[in-house]
Chains A and B, each alone.
Chain A
Amino acid sequence: MANKIEIENFSVYWNAERYLNSISLEVKMNEILGIIGPSGSGKTTFLRSINRMNELETGFKHEGLLSMDGNDIYSPDTDVVLLRKKIGIVFAMPVPLPMSIYENVVYGVRLSGIRNKQKLDELVERSLTEAYLWNEVKDRLNISGLRLSGGQQQRLCLARVLAMEPEVILLDEPTSGLDPISTAKIEDALNELKSKYTIILVTNNTKQAARVADRTGFFLMGDLIEIGDTRKVFTSPVKKETDDYITGRFG
């Protein structure tokens, strides 16, 4: 399968201190790549490097190559706004914007200039359906997104990314605060979505990676220790650190 994203010797510094050490990996078209590792190992930093969210914070510096479809993401010619439309992100904390469910979903596409009400309506229904939320909210699309439960809010956040029809979806521990039923719904959604999108799923829950990821990478203290087919990483890891982590001996 072709590579969607290629990362070569990519390092990140926060305030001149290095937090990602020369990471190299590929993300294949239409796969779910799981990223696991203890907290503080640089998973979020890695994920937010891909759609250039890190540069909104002070003290960010990077080295190395990060490309999508062969185009350098950090090239001065890259249109960041366009890039973020192609690479959507779901944060760990569900944060609906303080507006209606409908407006949350169409936020990104409205910015792209789509005004046609019928087109927007279709988009809302399709995105919410893909995010496994439509049936729960279809009769109250005009209430504030803030009035949904945490699990529903997170699916709303997923829907608003899907509405933009991105190519890549980044998820940063999307189920860390959710109940098992909401978690299952999001995992089901991801399983269906991978036919259309390339997905990187950072998760604090190793079982989740085992359930939904095609391949899994293990981060530890800024290093990519191991990456490979999920089954292989979980059943016969090459590195001792990986084995220790997935069997729960640390982290």
Chain B
Amino acid sequence: MIISPKNMQRGVVSILTAATAITVLILIFIIFFILEKGLPVLSLNFLTTNPQDMGKSGGIFPTIIGTILLPAIALLIAIPLGIFTSVYLCEYTKETIITKIIRFATDCLAGIPSIIFGLFGYIFFVNTLEMGWSILSGGLTLAVMVLPTIIRTSEEAIRSVPQIYRQVSFSLGASRWQTVKKVVLPNALPGIVTGVMLSIGRSIGETAAVIFTAGSSLRIPTSLFDSVRTMSVHFYILAREGLSNQNAYGTAAALIIAVLIINILAYWTMHRFIAKRN
């Protein structure tokens, strides 16, 4: 049977439309579902008080601290390290078999399940380096986990900056580093920010890698070597142990809203930066 180009076109368009519609619907459904169950629980009180009775009642204050600290440490380490690595790979080395191997290895690392990173963090940071279940172990583990993503997205972004800009910069007497600083990085910024945002999302939502390395203490931490519980771990424990579905949904709703706010802020900052430059 031969399908006419016109019908083919129609078929393709309907499939693409349907795929997009399904994706959007699933997304809306998930968010709606969680917000519907979680929003009634959310209140200032819920966010600012300590949990009672393992979390059956009371608020989620300590887990908010954990959720802020762990990704903050992870990003503080992974962002500079990742960007410098990708700058080095793109701007300071010639394309060789070694850079290809590094790139392949980074791709592989980016695809490894997070629980493996959790196991690695447990063996290396918690035990070998004797950091114990702590904010530091968890933050470092998350840093290792998001590093490949940051490197790869930054690399793509840096590579997409037109070669001619570098030539112009060199021709005006710029050194390589000055060229990177004044031309390459500012123009690669939107791509880099995308990678960073993906990483923020991943590290905020991460459960497996965190529960093995930061533990699940509900006390308010006083040092980087204290154990801490993040919102996602809290949600996981509440739901799995059947402690309080209501509080579990409340935590999930807070988590989703936090991720949304961070993404919106990041986009906003980036657009302001770009607008200022042009």
Contact = CB atoms under 8 A, between A and B. Distances in A.
Interface in B139-168: 164-168
A84 B167 CA distance: 11
Nearest to B278: A144
Interface of A: 51, 53, 56, 58, 81-82, 84-85, 88-89, 91, 93, 95, 97-99, 107-108, 111-112, 144, 146, 160-161, 164
Interface stretch (B44-52, B61-69, B172-180): B172-180
| Chain B contact residues, majority secondary structure | helix
B182 interface: yes
A164 B172 contact: yes
A238 B81 CA distance: 63
Nearest to A146: B278
B277 interface: yes
A248 to B, nearest CB: 32
Contact of A81 (B94, B168, B173, B278): B173
B167 A93 contact: no
A56 B91 CA distance: 12
A228 B182 CA distance: 42
B173 A164 contact: yes
Nearest to B162: A95
B183 interface: yes
B166, B167, B172, B178, most chain A CB atoms within 10 A: B172
Contact of B172 (A98, A146, A160): A160
B172 A108 contact: yes
Interface in B172-223: 172-175, 178, 182-183, 187
Given A82-B173, A98-B187, A111 B168 contact: no
Contacts of B165: 95, 97-98
Nearest to B95: A58
A81 B179 CA distance: 12
Given A81-B174, A108-B174, 9 more contacts: A81-B173, A84-B172, A91-B167, A97-B168, A97-B183, A99-B277, A107-B172, A111-B174, A144-B277
Contacts, number: 59
A81 B173 CA distance: 5
B171 interface: yes
A146 B278 CA distance: 9
Interface string B245-278: 0000000000000000000000000000000011
A160 B171 CA distance: 11
B29 interface: no
14 contacts: A81-B173, A81-B174, A81-B175, A84-B170, A84-B172, A91-B164, A97-B183, A98-B165, A98-B277, A98-B278, A108-B172, A111-B174, A111-B178, A164-B173
Contact of A89 (B94, B171, B174, B277): B171
B106 interface: no
B171 A53 contact: yes
B94 A58 contact: yes
A96 to B, nearest CB: 8
B85 interface: no
A84 B187 contact: no
Nearest to B171: A89
Contacts of B182: 107, 111
A89 B178 CA distance: 18
A164 B183 CA distance: 18
